[in-house]
Amino acid sequence: MLHVENLSASIGGTPILEGLDLNVEAGEVHAIMGPNGSGKSTFAHALAGRDGYEIGGTATLDGADLLAMEPEARAAAGLFIGFQYPVEIPGVNNMYFLRTALNSVRRARGEEEIGARDFLAVAREAMDLVEMKKDFLNRSVNAGFSGGEKKRNEILQMAVMRPRLALLDETDSGLDIDALQIIAAGVNSLRSPERSVVIITHYQRLLDYIRPDFVHVLVGGRIVKSGDHTLAHHLEDHGYADFVNHDLDDAPERPLSGTAS
């Protein structure tokens, strides 16, 4: 499904990602962990097409060349980013935003747009998933939302958009334990054989609720170690010291791909 090879990204000549490889197959859940500044968020935004990066390497989603597309085309191809810092859009009704987003990707895919009434049913179902109150849809997008509400809104959007690949960037940061469980339950219910999820996180905590098939350690812009979910526990106990301190040139030539053979 997602194939990333030798991905590099720099800003104004400062390298952030330096030869990142990752394969994610349909139905898999991957976790990417790493210390601050290791390039986790950059990885998400480089895939999504945010302005301002100089990009190298390749990244394909279902065979489509992501890096050659505009951000909106990447979304239409099925890429969804759960933002670490969801953006506020004052005066724009959340419901209207969601329907415009869904219809934009439907239009781009040559599908029929969804009417207001049918959309309401879709939205209600998604809201139940993240235990949102009704008035939530009538508020402005993220404006005046608490940290937890913003993150839940991201998962609500994911539930409405039904992406092929969801990349959740530190969705767990700033959440209390109840909100964490709601979000985890939401993500788990969206797991399916056709959908893949990549979870970017600092902590092992979220992975107690969403058990990943693979865990990768991102250090210095590369994946230096891959393993199963036990790797996350190892990191929780020992930190990233093992990976940060040793010379990166000694890291495996080709980091393990997600599809362990």
Q: Minimum Å distance from CB 232 to another protein? A: 27
The CA-CA-CA angle for residues 124, 47, 141, to 5°, reads: 35
How far apart are CB 104 and another protein at their closest, in Å?
4
Nearest distance, CB of residue 237 and another protein, angstroms: 35
List, in sequence order, every residue forming a beta bridge with 247; answer none if it has no partner: none
Least distance from another protein to the Cβ atom of residue 253, Å: 33
Pick 104 or 173: Cβ nearer another protein: 104
Whichever of 81 and 132 has its CB closer to another protein, that residue is 81
CB of 107 to another protein, least distance (A): 9
Residue nearer to another protein on the CB measure, 107 or 233: 107
Question: In whole angstroms, what is the distance from residue 186 CA to residue 201 CA?
Answer: 17
| CA–CA separation, 252 and 230 (whole Å) | 19
Measured distance CA(212)–CA(196) in Å, rounded: 11
Q: Return all residues near 128 (Cβ < 8 A) that are at least 6 apart.
A: none
Nearer to another protein, 99 or 225 (CB): 99
Report, in Å, the least distance between residue 82 CB and another protein. Answer: 10
Nearer to another protein, 168 or 217 (CB): 168
Q: How far is 47 from 67, CA to CA, in rounded Å?
A: 7
Contacts of 151 (CB under 8 A, 6+ apart): 82, 86, 171, 172, 174, 175, 179, 183
Q: Which residues contact 36 (CB under 8 A, 6 or more apart)?
A: 202
Burial group, residue 146, by CB count within 10 angstroms (0-12, 13-18, 19+): exposed
Q: Between 163 and 258, whose beta carbon lies closer to another protein?
A: 163
Alpha helices in the chain (DSSP H): 40-48, 71-76, 94-108, 116-129, 147-161, 177-190, 205-209, 230-238, 241-245
Work out how close the CB of 58 gets to another protein at its nearest, in angstroms, rounded to a whole number: 20
Residues that bind another protein (CB under 8 A): 48-52, 70-72, 74-76, 80-81, 83, 86-92, 96-97, 100-102, 104-105, 108, 140-141, 157, 161
Closest to another protein by CB, 42 vs 157, is: 157
